[in-house]
């Protein structure tokens, strides 16, 4: 037993109007039964956060933002700050998602600034790392993960690291239907945990939840979750329907 509570997170990306988001979260609230031994998080688009937060007022489902800026306020048109997300009732913010790295210029440095800014207002990051197909084929997967960890966690102390969640999301598996095999995912997760032990200490590494993301579906979640270093899932496509995300949350041990 790892002692880590599994964390099952839905990343809705750029989907759903406010009404659609509230309807889905209400369906999840009715359908999910396994709240006692697992943590469930939804990350709606910014526009739906306030209404989803109200709909979840009496629910154990927790709320995450999908991104943030590192400043707490200022002339940054179109940006959203960590205190704003805190005040809406978020517990986490997804940081460094590969779609943000790929399409919006997110770098290890900006990821690091965001993680530090979120810690300032006591918000946890779901810090995403992962290699592209080209990097995997060139045998560089572990080097890429090490570099992203080093850059993203720059300047954090052990206590701060203890508040994070990591997500390993191989870019080639996101939205493609190609899931990493349980062995491929386990190898990456074990490497990440070992890296955290060296960078911080064993206690931080053993406590850290490392989620797998990349085409997690009802039919592969059980074998992924059976791996010793996979502590949860960050789910895109299959989190957009109540039935499939409910089945993922209710993974069989």
Report the nearest approach of ligand 13P to the CB of residue 234 (Å).
Answer: 4
CA dihedral 146, 150, 153, 157 (to 10 degrees): 110
Altogether, the residues listed in the chain come to a count of 253
Q: Which of residues 163-182 bind ligand 13P (CB under 6 A)?
A: 169, 174-175
Check if 27 is active-site: no
Residue 131 is a binding residue for ligand 13P (CB under 6 A): no
Q: Which is nearer to ligand 13P, 126 or 161 (CB)?
A: 126
Residue 93 is a binding residue for ligand 13P (CB under 6 A): no
CA dihedral 6, 186, 229, 157 (to 10 degrees): -110
Closest CA to 68 of 118, 15, 108: 118
Residue nearest to ligand 13P (CB): 236
The count of residues interacting with ligand 13P (CB under 6 A) is 14
C-alpha distances out from residue 1 to 4, 73, 89, 127, Å: 8, 43, 31, 24
Residue 96 is a binding residue for ligand 13P (CB under 6 A): no
d(CA 137, CA 148): 18
d(CA 215, CA 206): 26
d(CA 113, CA 69): 9
Residue 44 is a binding residue for ligand 13P (CB under 6 A): no
d(CA 198, CA 219): 35
Task: Identify whether the C-beta of residue 37 lies closer than 8 Å to the C-beta of residue 6.
Answer: yes
Check if 189 is active-site: no
What single DSSP character describes residue 157? -
Residue 118 is a binding residue for ligand 13P (CB under 6 A): no
Report the nearest approach of ligand 13P to the CB of residue 45 (Å).
Answer: 13
Report the nearest approach of ligand 13P to the CB of residue 72 (Å).
Answer: 25
Report the nearest approach of ligand 13P to the CB of residue 248 (Å).
Answer: 10
Q: Applying CB under 6 A, which of residues 119, 161, 235, 242 lies at the interface with ligand 13P?
A: 235
Report the nearest approach of ligand 13P to the CB of residue 41 (Å).
Answer: 11
> Which stretches of the chain bind ligand 13P, using CB under 6 A?
11, 97, 169, 174-175, 213-216, 234-238
Question: Which positions are annotated as active-site residues?
Answer: 97, 169
């Amino acid at each position: 037993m790892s002692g880590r509570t599994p964390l099952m997170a839905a990343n809705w990306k750029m989907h759903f109007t406010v009404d659609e988001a509230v309807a889905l979260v209400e369906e999840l609230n009715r359908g999910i039964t396994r709240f006692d031994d697992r943590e469930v998080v939804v990350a709606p688009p910014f526009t739906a956060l306030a209404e989803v937060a109200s709909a979840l007022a009496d629910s154990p489902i927790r709320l995450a933002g999908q991104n943030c800026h590192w400043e707490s306020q200022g002339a940054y048109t179109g940006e959203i700050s960590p205190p704003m997300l805190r005040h809406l009732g978020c517990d986490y913010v997804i940081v460094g998602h590969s779609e943000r790295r790929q399409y919006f210029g997110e770098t290890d440095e900006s990821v690091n600034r965001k993680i530090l800014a979120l810690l300032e207002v006591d918000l946890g990051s779901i810090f995403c790392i992962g290699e592209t197909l080209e990097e995997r084929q060139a045998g560089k997967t572990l080097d890429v993960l090490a570099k992203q960890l080093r850059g993203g966690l720059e300047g954090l102390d052990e206590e701060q690291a203890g508040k994070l969640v990591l997500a390993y999301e191989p870019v080639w598996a996101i939205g493609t239907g190609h899931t990493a095999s349980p062995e491929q995912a386990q190898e990456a997760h074990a490497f990440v945990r070992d890296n955290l032990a060296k960078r911080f200490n064993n206690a931080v590494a053993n406590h850290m939840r490392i989620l797998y993301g990349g085409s997690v579906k009802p039919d592969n979640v059980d074998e992924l979750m059976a791996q010793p270093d996979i502590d949860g899932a960050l789910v895109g496509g299959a989190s957009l329907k109540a039935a499939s995300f409910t089945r993922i949350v209710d993974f069989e041990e």
